Every structure is written in structure tokens, then in C-alpha cells.
Amino acid sequence: MSEHTPLAQAHGQRATKAVIPAAGLATRFLPATKAVPKELLPVVDRPVLQYIVEEASRAGINDVLLITGRGKTSMVDHFDRQPYLEARLEAKGDMERLAAVRGTSELAEIYTCRQGEPLGLGHAVSYAESHVGDAPFVVLLGDEFTEESQPLLPQMIELQSRTGGIVLAFIEIPEDQVNRYGIASVSEAPEYADVENVVRVTGLVEKPSREEAPSNLAVVGRYVLPGTIFDAIRRTKPGSGGEIQLTDAMALLLAEGTPVHGIVYRGHRYDTGMPLGYLQAVVQLASERDDLGPAFTEWLKSFVAGLDRNAGKAA
């Protein structure tokens, strides 16, 4: 490849902007999400979206584009200043809550645009084109986040700046769940052997059946993409579920020679997109909190012991 191809020029450039698709209707959480965006459901005392923007901010990304839809403008308010509330907290001398309220407006510059019709993840990402241009960028799905003590984004961004291609994150999942995810076939990546848990992606398929799935490596909601993805999305026809899939656009770039790599994530991934995963996230994060954790886990243990006793009686 010549030094002057767009891909070669992209090498060395680091992603500095994030895109969060958040226009979905969240039918799995109705009626809670009739008037409240699912991204604002609280996990302990912070909305899901705040964990995601904090994750981006810790990775040095302070420019965040939210792709929103009707009824979801309150997401933006969460990251705005609240002078009246701040003045009240200050007057009361409640500096801890004041810092928490102000902190959300200091995490990142938040930009928004509207996806008029939810036609798929690829379609949502296509709205970011005028904001990110042809630079590499990060996509963070609005209902997943990673463990704070096991960051993933910094390695992904660094690797993408070296490959100039696509960098994904994977988790290993049970085989009966492959039809819920984008699934990859992979090989070793000796040229990036210095990166822990790295693989080279040789194929991608969105929500395959168990028989069609090439592995049990599932794409999780963190992507670092080159600007060429926008043209690929334009050339992508509706796929799984009749939607324009990001996975299909990435598979197109892969087939055309764009390097695609993945990092297998070994930390904990919180998936709040479904009620069970949401409840697990609330319990896990509450247990780890310095302020709430000790009292909460004590109660939780006796609650679980009670459940076990009742199950024993019923048996």
C-alpha cells in the first residue's frame, strides 16, 4: 500500500471523539421507559449513561456525541450545569453533593443529534459523520459499561492508532447466546503480540444461529472505527432484523482489506440493556461502594440465606 492512501495517513492518529447511539425505544423496560430514557435509569445513584461518559473521560475522550431520539432530551440535561440546584447545595454547605452535581457537567463536551427513525445501529452511527469527519472515533453503546479497575478503551484506542483499521472488544459467551450478538472468527495477531489478549478478526456475522456461529467470541459495545466506516454504512443493505447493521458495514471493510482486530476483555462487563443484567449491575456496584457496600452486603447475605431456607422447606 502506498504511503499516500487514506488508510496510511490515518496511522498514528488517535480517536478523540466518542459517539453514543441512544435513540432506542427500550421496550424491554416498559413502562419505566415510557417517559424516562433507559440510559437515565439509575445504577445505585448514577444513571447508566454517566458510567459510560465517565469511562470515555477516563480514556481521555472529552467530546461525546449522543445520537438521540424523541423524548430523550433529558439525557442532555444530566450533563448540563444546574445553577439553582448548585446554589441551594452551596448555601446548605453540602459540598459532597455539590461536587457530584457539578462533576457531571465537567466530564465532557456533550453534543447531540437526532436519529429520526431507528433503522439500526449502523444507521445511528452514520449520523456522526459531520461531527467526526474522517478521523478515527469511538462508539460506546448506551447500555453497557466496563469495570472501572479494568479499563478497556485505552488499549483499544492505542491499538487502533497503530493499525489504522477497526478495533473491537470481545467477550466469550455461552454458545446458546450467540444469536444475541455480533460474532467473530479470529486468528492470532503476532504483529501485535505486545498487546494483551489481542486477536486478528477474519470474519464477522451479526446474530448468527448456533449452527452458523464461527466462534463464541461476541462483539461488546465498544468500537474504535476509522472514518471510512461512513462510506461502508452507505453501501450496507438492511441485514439482521431488517436493520442497517454496524457489523455488516465492518464486515464490508474487512472484506476490502481494512485490518480488524479485537481485544478479548477479561474484566466484568455490566450489561444494563435487560432487566436481569440491570439488576445484577445495581447489586454488584452497590456492594462495592465504600459508603453503602458494608450495610448492603450484610442485608443481602441474610436475604439470600432466607431464600435458601425457604427453598429448603419447599423441597
Exactly one of 206, 226, 233, 263 binds ligand G1P (CB under 6 A); which one? 206
What does the block give as the cell for 2? 502506498
Exactly one of 22, 125, 159, 219 binds ligand G1P (CB under 6 A); which one? 219
If binding is defined by CB under 6 A, does position 29 make contact with ligand G1P?
A: no
d(CA 315, CA 303): 19
- Which residue's beta carbon is nearest to the bound ligand G1P? 182
Q: Which is nearer to ligand G1P, 98 or 205 (CB)?
A: 205
Q: What angle do CA 167, 169, 171 make, to 5 degrees?
A: 155
User: What residues numbered 94-133 form the site for ligand G1P, per CB under 6 A?
Assistant: 121
Q: What angle do CA 147, 271, 59 make, to 5 degrees?
A: 40
Show the binding pattern over residues 247-266: x = contacts ligand G1P (CB under 6 A), - = does not. x-------------------
Show the binding pattern over residues 220-239: x = contacts ligand G1P (CB under 6 A), - = does not. xx------------------
Q: How many residues bind ligand G1P (CB under 6 A)?
A: 13
Show the binding pattern over residues 150-189: x = contacts ligand G1P (CB under 6 A), - = does not. -------------------------------xx-------
Going by their DSSP bridges, the two strands 17-21 and 42-43 should be labelled as: unpaired
Q: Which is nearer to ligand G1P, 50 or 247 (CB)?
A: 247
Range in contact with ligand G1P (rule: CB under 6 A) among 100-108, 111-119, 217-225, 278-286: 217-225
Q: Which is nearer to ligand G1P, 218 or 253 (CB)?
A: 218
Alpha-carbon dihedral angle through residues 176, 177, 183, 189, given to the nearest 10 degrees: -80
User: What residues numbered 131-150 form the site for ligand G1P, per CB under 6 A?
Assistant: 141, 144
Q: Which is nearer to ligand G1P, 221 or 259 (CB)?
A: 221
Give the residue carrying C-alpha cell 480517536: 15
Q: Which is nearer to ligand G1P, 10 or 156 (CB)?
A: 156
- What stretches of the chain adopt beta strand conformation (E)? 17-21, 42-43, 46-47, 63-68, 109-114, 137-140, 144-146, 166-172, 182-187, 198-206, 217-225, 260-264, 269-271
Read off the amino acid at residue 90. Answer: E
d(CA 8, CA 227): 13
Give the residue carrying C-alpha cell 445511528: 124
Residues that bind ligand G1P (CB under 6 A): 121, 141, 144, 181-182, 206, 218-221, 245-247
